[in-house]
Amino acid sequence: GDSVTQMEGPVTLSEEAFLTINCTYTATGYPSLFWYVQYPGEGLQLLLKATKADDKGSNKGFEATYRKETTSFHLEKGSVQVSDSAVYFCALLYNNNDMRFGAGTRLTVKP
Amino acid sequence: DSGVTQTPKHLITATGQRVTLRCSPRSGDLSVYWYQQSLDQGLQFLIQYYNGEERAKGNILERFSAQQFPDLHSELNLSSLELGDSALYFCASSVAGHGHTFGSGTRLTVV
């Protein structure tokens, strides 16, 4: 079935470092792809999404490009801040309504 | 505010007891999903309802049950509670094609 695999954490970076969190997917069709973020003590919030191949989702300085040829949707940010410390989840939407989530990657940014 | 409301935010109860968690979906969303998130951060899908009908089951224990009412709010009932049931329980709602919107969760502590 459809699934998502994301890099294991935790990831620890210094402020202003470059961030990449890898995410690959397996799907029979062409799912929409998402990144969610969960700040400490909160629920998951949609960070960005892409609905078709070559689409780039972006929000709050984060970007991810839907790559059909490599079945990937890696999350990137050029300069992380302490406030970006959170758990990041890659996810795909299938059957128009159901989602598969990755295991989550915990990011800690140190000043 | 995501528009998905979960109550209560925190719940502390003893082993063997029964609790009910409540979720009001975003206005217009017909689907409600329940997830359990343990300390190791992964999201476990429990159950989905669509317009009052059970649509999909995940890793939901027999001690757990749920329902969705005509006004579309949903309740998750957890009975014969064990220490291992301590977790965050999230509700999410969705409209077709747009991914999940999550509530802020209920933190259940079983003592």
pLDDT tens for B37-92 read: 987 768 999 999 999 999 999 989 999 999 999 999 999 999 999 999 999 999 99
pLDDT number for residue A30: 86
Asked if residue A95 has pLDDT above 90, the reply is no
CA A18 to chain centre: 15
**Cβ–Cβ contacts within 10 Å for residue A110, how many?**
11
Distance from CA of A19 to the nearest CA of B (A): 20
Spell out which chain A residues touch chain B, with contact meaning CB-CB distance below 8 angstroms: 32, 34, 36, 42-46, 49, 87, 89, 91, 93, 96-99, 101, 103-104, 106
Q: Looking at beta carbons, which residues of chain B come within 8 Å of A97?
A: 31, 50, 94, 96-97
For residue A54, give both structure tokens.
């070559």
Phi, psi of B66 (to 5 degrees): -145, 165
Look at B97 and A99 and tell me if their CB atoms are within 8 Å. no
**Cβ–Cβ contacts within 10 Å for residue A53, how many?**
11
